[in-house]
Amino acid sequence: MKTKTTICLLATAALALTSYAASAQGRHGQGGAQAQDRAQVERGQKDFDRDRLRDRDRTTDPSRDRDRDQDRTHAPDNASFGDKGIYGSELMSVEERNQYREQLRLTESDPKAQTKFMAEHREKMQQRAKAKGKVLEDPPAAEQAE
């Protein structure tokens, strides 16, 4: 009977020690997981702070955005937008040059239509130059080739 009791006590002690060891290891493992979670939260907080500072800089320094917008929407006064490539551009208004560019853009997929448009434009400019008593130079080589 004593042997049976001793074996039972030893088995119970072994089970108790095993469960105690498992629970201690679980606590230790959770501590590692908590450290990883904490590190991840800190990284996220750093990213959030960085983004917040960038947003603040954008909103508090309007000159940077204003300059960027101005560059996008306004050309310098001396910009000619390639007017030298337009035959008779000195006889055309700004609106006419813009219409000319738009018509070229619309006809760029049809070479025949583009050639016809450019020939009509050349005749029109020659008539306008003759009416004003001016002489136009020949169109640029690129325009003649098209």
Q: What is the pLDDT of residues 77-112, one digit of tens each?
A: 444 455 567 888 888 899 999 999 999 899 889 989
Q: For 52-83, how does the pLDDT look when each residue is reduced to its tens digit (9 = 90+)?
A: 888 877 777 666 666 666 655 555 544 445 55
Instruction: Name the DSSP letter for residue 80.
Output: -
pTM of the model: 0.41
CA 86 – CA 100 distance, rounded (Å):
8
State the pLDDT at residue 124: 93
CA torsion sign for 124, 130, 134, 136 is: positive
Average pLDDT of the segment spanning 10-37: 74
State the pLDDT at residue 141: 53
CA 43 – CA 36 distance, rounded (Å):
11
Return the ∠ at Cα 62 (arms to 58 and 67), rounded to 5°: 110
